[in-house]
């Protein structure tokens, strides 16, 4: 008959393939020896003799888990017709070479000890994983409890009655957003605040309504001060009058000759020019302009030398 490679061979010489097992053992197909006790020859002694002669073919390697690994080995199993008649083919009548007890056929050709060891390993891994997850959840709960305790330690206490603020009162008393009304009594709880406002004769929330307007004006002043010009000579901020003077433009309004100087520096500049070139004053009266000042103030510095 044709072998697995397509060549013709006698059936007893054909090769049989076996798929890899889930355990990783690449075993060959099992060989079953069935003995029929006829005559004086004792099959038990024959089985022992065959087991010793074929040990290099079927013997596995013992592992730490108490099982054997039969990678690349041939399972050799022996039984007798008399045992088959008494117990049937499903009974424990099969002896695998290297083992000391009869087993059902499935257990004899399989590796039940390894399967049991793998099952224990999977169970132990599952237990470790469950313990790790429980530890992570416990650590998360402890961290959350610690943060909550720290937050409660920072919670304000009413200076009037000694009660702790609620979350809403805490948020309202310490609001810092732009446009948020400033609380009139940030150290009092809601009840004590209402009593304090009533005792002052001021409607609750009056200052809160006025505060946004004041904050809006402060914001505008801050933005305006950020744009205020600075003198390039002395570094002083321009006054409001000087600022208006250099920005005043219109038909028939002459531009400021030195818009980068403050009032004091502008006056000193004119005085220095008159002292350095007295005749320039006459030119100016005749409509001739004074020498231009450089942006870095080098002209004024030259006068002072």
222 pLDDT band, cuts 50/70/90, is low
Residue 153 falls within a domain, yes or no?
no
Task: Mark which of 226, 250, 277 sits at the end of a domain.
Answer: 226
Question: Residues 219, 273: one domain?
Answer: no
Q: Which of 97, 114, 117, 95 is nearest to 105 (CA)?
A: 95
Residue 142 falls within a domain, yes or no?
no
How many folded domains does the chain comprise? 3
257 pLDDT band, cuts 50/70/90, is confident
pLDDT of residue 124: 92
137 pLDDT band, cuts 50/70/90, is very high
Residue 133 falls within a domain, yes or no?
no
pLDDT of residue 300: 46
Question: Residues 17, 47: one domain?
Answer: yes
Q: What is the pTM of this model?
A: 0.42
pLDDT, mean over the chain: 79
Question: Which of 64-68, 226-230, 295-299 shows the lowest per-residue confidence on average (mean pLDDT)?
Answer: 295-299
pLDDT of residue 133: 95
Q: Report the distance separating Cα 241 and Cα 251, nearest Å.
A: 20
Kindly report, residue by residue over 155-210, the tens digit of the pLDDT.
899 988 888 989 888 888 887 666 667 778 888 888 888 888 888 775 545 555 55
86 pLDDT band, cuts 50/70/90, is very high
Question: Residues 43, 85: one domain?
Answer: yes
Residue 25 falls within a domain, yes or no?
yes
Question: Residues 222, 287: one domain?
Answer: no
Q: Which residues contact 6 (CB under 8 A, 6 or more apart)?
A: none
Task: Mark which of 110, 126, 146 sits at the end of a domain.
Answer: 110
Residue-number span of the structural domain to which 22 is assigned: 11-110
Q: Which range among 7-16, 27-36, 284-293 has the greatest average pLDDT?
A: 27-36
């Amino acid at each position: 008959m044709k072998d697995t490679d397509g060549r013709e061979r006698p059936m007893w010489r054909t090769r049989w393939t076996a798929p890899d097992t889930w355990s990783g053992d690449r075993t060959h197909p099992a060989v079953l020896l069935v003995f029929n006790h006829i005559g004086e020859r004792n099959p038990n002694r024959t089985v022992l003799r065959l087991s010793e002669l074929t040990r290099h073919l079927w013997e596995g390697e013992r592992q730490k888990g108490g099982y054997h690994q039969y990678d690349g080995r041939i399972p050799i199993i022996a039984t007798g017709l008399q045992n088959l008649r008494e117990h049937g083919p499903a009974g424990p009548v099969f002896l695998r070479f290297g083992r000391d007890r009869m087993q059902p056929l499935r257990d004899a050709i399989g590796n039940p000890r390894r399967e049991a060891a793998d099952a224990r390993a999977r169970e132990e891994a599952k237990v470790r994983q469950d313990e790790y997850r429980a530890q992570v959840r416990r650590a998360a709960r402890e961290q959350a409890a610690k943060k909550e305790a720290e937050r409660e330690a920072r919670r304000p206490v009413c200076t009037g009655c000694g009660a702790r603020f609620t979350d809403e009162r805490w948020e309202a008393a310490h609001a810092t957003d732009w446009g948020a009304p400033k609380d009139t009594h940030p150290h009092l709880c809601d009840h004590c605040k209402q009593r304090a406002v009533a005792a002052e004769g001021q409607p609750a929330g009056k200052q809160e309504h006025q505060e946004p307007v004041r904050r809006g004006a402060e914001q505008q002043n801050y933005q305006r001060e950020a744009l205020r010009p600075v003198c390039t000579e002395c570094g002083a901020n321009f006054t409001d009058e000087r600022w208006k003077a250099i920005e005043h433009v219109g038909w028939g309004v002459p531009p400021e000759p030195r818009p980068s100087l403050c009032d004091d520096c502008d006056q000193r500049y004119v005085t220095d020019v008159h002292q350095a070139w007295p005749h320039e004053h006459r030119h100016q009266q005749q409509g001739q302009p004074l020498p231009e000042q450089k942006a870095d103030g080098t002209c004024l510095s030259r006068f002072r030398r």
